[in-house]
Amino acid sequence: MSGEKIPVAGVIGYPISHSKSPALFRHWLERMELPGHYVHLHIAPEDFDASVRQLPKMGFVGVNVTLPHKHAALAIADHKTDRAVMIGAANTLIFRKDGLIHADNTDGYGFVTNLRANAPGWNPRSGPACVLGAGGAARAVIAALIDIGVERILLSNRTRGKADAMRSDFGSRVEVVNWVDAGEAVDDATTIINTTSLGMVGQPELRVPLDGLRPGDVVNDLVYAPLETRLLREGRAAGATVVDGLGMLLHQAVPGFERWFGKRPEVDEDTRLAVLG
């Protein structure tokens, strides 16, 4: 028997059974014929730190981290990428051979890569971007938009204080718009991104007026269940380029997979089908 260890990775959340990451990672491992395992880890917030510290001893090379642990994941790390610090949360932990924990946040990378892949020719300087929602996903999206040169970000959230806090963190490129006026921000923007949970299965519909959508706009909904939300349906009907949320989930997983299992995976139609089951 060889002494070679089989790398193990996983995704930590609470709850976690709904996560699509295991199906995604197992699909890539099989397709590339790589040795490795990827598992669900259901870990309560009070057990997060102690559990994470045990994982490297059990053969884990790293983990993805989802709700509600993304802040704790950043806090536990010895090294943090600039983008993780900027977003204030980590979704990827790498357990280094020297025992240190390295934290990254690949959500913004996943968002931009998905946008560029599905809206070829998209120009960050084509006009303002409208971001609906000011939660964790919005932070990653705004950090990424600023990083690639979007000059005005019209941010609208039901709870205005959260949007104001985001403006204090990210600066004057972010302009806060009252939630009741979100339709005007949609009208003014050329790129429209829904980061709220509205429109997701089991959640209320996004009711922002969408008559400001136009041909040439790029409309991205981070919701991926269903794949076609009201926002995307109306965007398509208006002649806009529409981008669904599944691709962001797939692309954000690429850096972790490459680091843990040694090869960069492809995101293509087969990958989408594997995850959709």
Q: Which residues bind ligand ATR (CB under 6 A)?
A: 133-138, 157-159, 162, 195-198, 204
Do the beta carbons of residue 44 and residue 14 sit within 8 Å?
A: yes
Name the minimum Å distance from CB 34 to ligand ATR.
30
The nearer residue to ligand ATR, 182 or 275, going by C-beta atoms, is 182
The nearer residue to ligand ATR, 79 or 207, going by C-beta atoms, is 207
The nearer residue to ligand ATR, 52 or 208, going by C-beta atoms, is 208
Q: Is 225 helix (H, G, I), strand (E, B) or coil?
A: coil
Closest of 121, 173, 128, 177 to residue 147, by C-alpha: 173
Of the candidates 57, 70, 162, 263, the residue annotated as catalytic is 70
Nearest residue to ligand ATR, using CB? 135
CA 90 to centroid of chain Cα atoms: 11
CA dist 244 and 219 (Å) reads 8
CA dist 261 and 242 (Å) reads 32
Name the minimum Å distance from CB 81 to ligand ATR.
19
Name the minimum Å distance from CB 182 to ligand ATR.
9
CA dist 62 and 103 (Å) reads 10
CA 176 to centroid of chain Cα atoms: 22
Which residues on adjacent β-strands are paired with residue 95? 101
Name the minimum Å distance from CB 178 to ligand ATR.
12
Check if 70 is active-site. Answer: yes
Structure-block tokens of residue 266: 């492809």
The nearer residue to ligand ATR, 37 or 158, going by C-beta atoms, is 158
Do the beta carbons of residue 130 and residue 150 sit within 8 Å?
A: no
Do the beta carbons of residue 119 and residue 144 sit within 8 Å?
A: no
The nearer residue to ligand ATR, 56 or 88, going by C-beta atoms, is 88
Name the minimum Å distance from CB 92 to ligand ATR.
15
Closest of 73, 69, 17, 62 to residue 37, by C-alpha: 62
**Catalytic residue positions, numbered:** 70
